[in-house]
Amino acid sequence: MREVLKVSERVSLGSDFDYEVIVIGAGIAGLYQLYRLRESGVRTRVFESGTGVGGTWYWNRYPGARCDVESMQYSYSFDQTLQQDWHWAEKYATQPEILGYLNHVTDRFDLRKNIEFDTEITSAHFDEGSRCWDIKTNVGGHLLAQFFIMATGCISTPQTPKIEGFSAYQGKTYHTGTWPHEKVDFTGQRIAVIGTGSSGIQSIPVLAKEADHVTVFQRTPHWSVPARNVPMTDEYEKEWKEDYAVRREKMRYSVSGSLKKLKSLDVPALSVSVDEREEIFRERWEAGGMIYLRSFSDLLTKQEANDTAAEYVRERIRGIVKDPETAELLAPKTYPIGTKRLCLDTNYYETFNRDNVELVDISSQPIRQMTPTGLRANGRNFEFDSVVFAIGFDAMTGTLFNVDIRGRKGRMLKEKWHAGPRTYLGLMSADFPNMFMITGPGSPSVKSNMLTSIEQHVEFVVDGLMYMRDNCLELIEPELKAEDEWVDHVQEAANATLFPRANSWYMGANIPGKPRLFMPYIGGVGRYRKICEEIVENGYRGFKVQAKTSGAAAAE
C-alpha cells in the first residue's frame, strides 16, 4: 500500500492515477500547458519549486533584467481578448512587467488552484506494471500520473561558482539567476560582477549607476548590439493589435518565431560593395535588435561573411569606449559573431567610460581564490562588499538531470544522454513513454522566440493526448530509428553553420565535462513546425503507441 503524499490530499484523486497529467514548472510553458489540458478536460496538476508563477521571470530578478524579444511578440497568442487587452509599456518588457503579465494570465484563467507551489519534483520513474509515472516530491510520498511533462524551461539551473575559498568570503554574494525578491541596495558599495553574457551585460550599466564602484571580471567578451528600447507608442501597439491574427500566423512559420521590422536580406555579405555592406550594418546597428545578424543571408554560415559583420561591431565598440585598451578587451575576437547568443544592451559599452567602472581581463588567468574580503585574480587582491555572479546556467539538460528521471527498465535519462541529448523533435525520448519535454533539446527552443515555440509544443502535446484518448491508446514514445535520425538531423543542421565554433552554452561548453554538441534545432521555427505537422498528418510517424488492451503497434 503506497504512502499518499501530503500534497495530493489537498486535491481529489482519481481511481487509476492521482492525475492524468503532472506538469513540472509554472513558467510560460507550464501555465499554458495547464490551461490547454484543463480546457480539454484532462485532470492535471502542476508542481512548481518557486512560491509563485513565472519560471525564468520569477527567478531572474536582477537589476536591468528584460526580454530582448519585442513585447508585442513575447506574449501568448492563444487568447484573442487577452492579447487585445494587455498593454505593454515598452518595446522590450522588463522582468517585473513580464512577471506581472504572467500573474495576470494565471488569475485571468484561474490557473493557480491547480498549481502546487514550493514543491520540487525529485524523481519520476516509469512503472512498467501500472504503465504510469511514479513521481516523488521533496514533501515526501509519491503520486501516480499517466503522463509527465517537463515544462522546466531551457535556462533554469544556475551554474554555481566553484572558486576556492568561496565560503570564506564574508561579503554578500548574488547570482543573477536566483536574485532576491526584495530590492538589493548597492548604494555606496564596491561590487564585483563576474560574467559578461546577457545577464551581465544587462545588469552592469544599472549596477554602475547605483554602486560606488563596479569591477567587471571578463573571461570572454560577448558580442552585443544596441537594443534601442523605447516606450510603447499608441501607433505601434495599434498596428500590431489590428493585425495580430495575421502576424501571429506569420511568426509561427518564420525562421525565428518572431517578425522583424527590417526585412532579412537574401544576399551574401560579399556580394555587395564594401560601402553598401557598411551602410546595411549601420542601418541595422542604428535600428537595434537581433536583426543585425540577418543583415545578409550567410552571416552565420560563412566565416568570411561573418568577419565583415564582426569587424563592423568591433569598430563601433572602439568608437564608443574611450580607453583603447579597454575597448580592445571588450571587442570579441575569438569566435564568430552570433554563435554565442547575441546580447542586446542599453549603454553597456558606454558604461566602461565611467570613472567608477573597471574591466579586469581574466581570459588567461581564472579567478584564483575568494578571500574573506574579496577575491584574488591576475596577481591582485580585490576587496568587495558584494559579488554578483552572472556566470550562466547548465542549460537545456541541467534541469532535466536534476530530477531523477527513469524510463523503461529503470534506465536513467541522464545515463541515456551521457553523450548528449537524444530526443525525437525535442519532445520525447525513446524508452521514456508518456514523458514530454516542452522546448526540449533538439527543438528550436532557445534559437527562437520562446513564446512561439512553447505554444507550438503545448498544442502538439494536447493534440497528441486527444488523439490517444480518441483511439483508446495508453502509451506513446518515439521509435528508436526516428529518434536516431532526428538527432543526426539536428547535428547536420548545426554543422552547416558556424555555431559549433564557439564555446557556448548552446554547445554545453560552459559546463566542465558536459558533452560538446549543439543542443537546440537550428533549422528554423517554420520548417520545424511543418515537419511536426507532416508527422501528425502521417499518423504520428516515428512514434509508437500501445493500445489500452495490450501489444505494441506502430502508429501508422
Residues that bind ligand NAP (CB under 6 A): 66-68, 155, 176, 194-200, 202, 217, 219-220, 222, 341, 362, 366-367, 390-393, 446, 505, 510
Q: What is the smallest separation between the CB atom of 206 and ligand NAP, expressed in angstroms? A: 13
- Contact assessment for residue 83 and residue 244, using Cβ atoms and an 8 Å cutoff: yes
CB of 155 to ligand NAP, least distance (A): 5
b/e map 331-354, b = 16+ CB within 10 Å: bbeebbbbbbbbbbbbbbbbbbee
Chain centroid to Cα 43, Å, comes to: 28
Q: Which of 304, 318, 222 is nearest to 268 (CA)?
A: 304
Decide: 219 and 391 in contact? Cβ < 8 Å.
no
The residue (of 132 and 291) whose beta carbon lies closer to ligand NAP is 291
**In terms of CB distance, is 280 or 343 closer to ligand NAP?**
343
Smallest separation, CB 381 to ligand NAP (Å): 17
Closer to ligand NAP by CB, 38 or 376: give it.
376
CA-only gyration radius of the chain, Å: 24
CA–CA dist 392, 346 (Å, integer): 20
Residue 114 or 256: which CB sits closer to ligand NAP?
A: 256
Looking at beta carbons only, is 47 or 179 nearer to ligand NAP?
179
Q: How far is the CB of 462 from ligand NAP (least distance, A)?
A: 27
Strands 435-437 and 142-150: parallel
| Residue 546 Cβ vs ligand NAP, minimum distance, rounded to whole Å | 38
Closest C-alpha among 42, 17, 28, 25 to residue 150: 25
233 phi and psi angles, rounded to 5 deg: -100, 155
Nearer to ligand NAP, 78 or 166 (CB): 166
Closest approach of Cβ 397 to ligand NAP, in Å? 14
Q: CB 239 → ligand NAP: shortest distance, Å?
A: 23
Return the DSSP state at 51: S
Q: Residue with CB nearest ligand NAP?
A: 197
Q: Which is nearer to ligand NAP, 28 or 194 (CB)?
A: 194
Best CA proximity match to 210, nearest among 428, 414, 64, 332:
64
Task: Please identify, using beta-carbon distances, which residue of 377 and 435 lies nearer to ligand NAP.
Answer: 377
DSSP at 355: T
CB of 224 to ligand NAP, least distance (A): 11
Spatial distance between the Cα atoms of 54 and 102, rounded to a whole number of angstroms: 6
Check: CB of residue 117 under 8 Å from CB of residue 131. no
Query: Rounded to an integer, what distance in angstroms lies between the CA atom of residue 512 and that of residue 507?
Result: 12
**Whether the Cβ atoms of residue 254 and residue 290 lie closer than 8 Å to each other:** no
